[in-house]
Structure 1
Amino acid sequence: MKKQFIVLGLGSFGASVAVTLQQLGCDVVAVDQDMERVNDVAEMVTYAMQADIGNPDLLLSLGSNNYDGLVVAAAEDMEASIMATLVAKEIGIPHVLCKARDNRHAAVLRKIGADAVVFPEEEMGKRIAKNLMSANFADWIALSPDYSVVEVRTPSYWVGKTLKELDLRRAHELNVVGIKDGDRVEITPDPDIPLKEESILMLIGANKTLEKL
């Protein structure tokens, strides 16, 4: 059965989340007060509608207790964001992710039950900065202040060696969670196959260890 999500607010962040969830096979209801934004995503999601996201009756009218999750992507109107989060938790939506405008806003959202609070612009800025500082990495995703997942082209001194030979978990406290070869992704890499120069390795480990690469 498809997972079902509601996305409130269709700015750049909300629209991106809504369309990506739909592309991943979910059913998505996208809502915004701006009809132009609604029209921009209408053909790319299950259902798009214009409505006041601060209206406490909106989620009830959508039968939201049947949904798997809610994304409150409109942080500019703090009152509407807080109201939507409060109603969502009261009616039992399992997972509510909210975009916050600042730390005070984030603190209120967490206090009323938001399961996750994000600062997309700040997090993207940090991610870009890390990528710029670590030119060898194709991508860097922070899991916590101390651990990250990175994508890196196979280091020259690993080429031709197997994961078993390298024993990265013991030697460097790194785990290879996947290998990309072109469009093909292997999420359970064979430890006995030699690594190729053109492959992209998906590594998880401590930031200090990853930075040494």
Structure 2
Amino acid sequence: MRQKKEFVVIGLGRFGGSLCKELSDIGIEVLAIDKDPERIKEYNSVVSQAVELDAIDEESLIEMGIRNFDCVVVSIGEDIQASILITLILKEIGIKQVWVKARNDYHEKVLQKIGADRIIHPERDMARRIAHHIVSDKVADYIEISKNHSIVEIVASDKLNGKTVENIDAQEGFNCVIVAIRKSEDNLILLPSKTTIVDKNDILVTIGKNTDLERFEDKKV
């Protein structure tokens, strides 16, 4: 049986607090850390454990057993210096996965140099997703997976109604892959076959290079 992962979230601001709630809602064990006693009090009933602690204190982190956790998310908001120092401490004491919220590009560059495993830009990423919603009524959602590649949820129009995946020709004609089709909230077809029929308003979960996805959306959908 696969062991359930456990996470630490350091910093209970807007992003860190929301992350704690989402992880807890899906049954993930979360240890929340913040030096503000009021925030600890607020999230004490939300997470598995909430600890009042200044995460810059390396000895205190080790004493509380931080090495036993699978992933630590550093979501310090305003204090960039504290975010960098905590990330450095976590990597030096051997935390395998350290994810860090970056405030700006300078912050990101420093985090990259000291070994952060993943850097999160919640405001920038959300802005990009909203921008794609605004510019195209065909896009239901958008997730960037690299600088040049994305996963896009495209709403099937009248043009695609009744066509098979093979007829749509996403892969051969546009180098895009339809990895799933969502027909309703409880009806998701993963890795649809060439003969799977698409209906109007189906959501096509499509992965590819950004330029290819744009061509596919413009020409075919």
Deviation at 1:175, TM superposition (A): 0.8
Q: Are the counterparts in 1 of residues 157 and 201 from structure 2 also a CA contact under 8 Å?
A: no
Taking structure 1 as the reference length, what is the TM-score of the superposition?
0.91
Alpha-carbon distance in 1 for matches of 2:185, 2:154: 15
Deviation at 1:145, TM superposition (A): 2.6
1:35-81 deviation per Cα after TM superposition (whole angstroms, max 9, x unaligned) = 33333333232112222122222321231222111100003222321
The AA in structure 1 aligned to 2:204 is L
Alpha-carbon distance in 2 for matches of 1:158, 1:182: 17
Q: Are the counterparts in 2 of residues 134 and 211 from structure 1 also a CA contact under 8 Å?
A: no
Q: Segments of 4+ in structure 1 off by > 3 A?
A: none
Q: Show the counterpart of 1:51.
A: 53
Deviation at 1:194, TM superposition (A): 0.8
Aligned residue pairs total: 213
Q: Show the counterpart of 1:22.
A: 24
Gaps of 5+ in 2: none
Q: Show the counterpart of 1:65.
A: 67
Alpha-carbon distance in 2 for matches of 1:152, 1:43: 39
Match of 2:128 among 109, 123, 126: 126
The AA in structure 2 aligned to 1:102 is N
Alpha-carbon distance in 2 for matches of 1:180, 1:10: 34
Q: Are the counterparts in 1 of residues 67 and 94 from structure 2 also a CA contact under 8 Å?
A: yes
User: Residue 142 of structure 2: SS of its match in structure 1?
Assistant: strand
Q: Show the counterpart of 2:203.
A: 200
Alpha-carbon distance in 1 for matches of 2:59, 2:189: 46
Q: Show the counterpart of 1:117.
A: 119
**Structure 1 position 82 matched with structure 2 position 84:** yes
| Identity across matched positions, percent | 37
1:124-153 deviation per Cα after TM superposition (whole angstroms, max 9, x unaligned) = 122211221122111111122321111121
Taking structure 2 as the reference length, what is the TM-score of the superposition?
0.88
Alpha-carbon distance in 2 for matches of 1:104, 1:194: 48
Q: Are the counterparts in 2 of residues 10 and 37 from structure 1 also a CA contact under 8 Å?
A: yes
Q: Are the counterparts in 2 of residues 55 and 80 from structure 1 also a CA contact under 8 Å?
A: no
Alpha-carbon distance in 2 for matches of 1:188, 1:211: 21
Gaps of 5+ in 1: none
Q: Are the counterparts in 2 of residues 139 and 152 from structure 1 also a CA contact under 8 Å?
A: yes
The AA in structure 1 aligned to 2:147 is P
Match of 1:165 among 164, 167, 170: 167
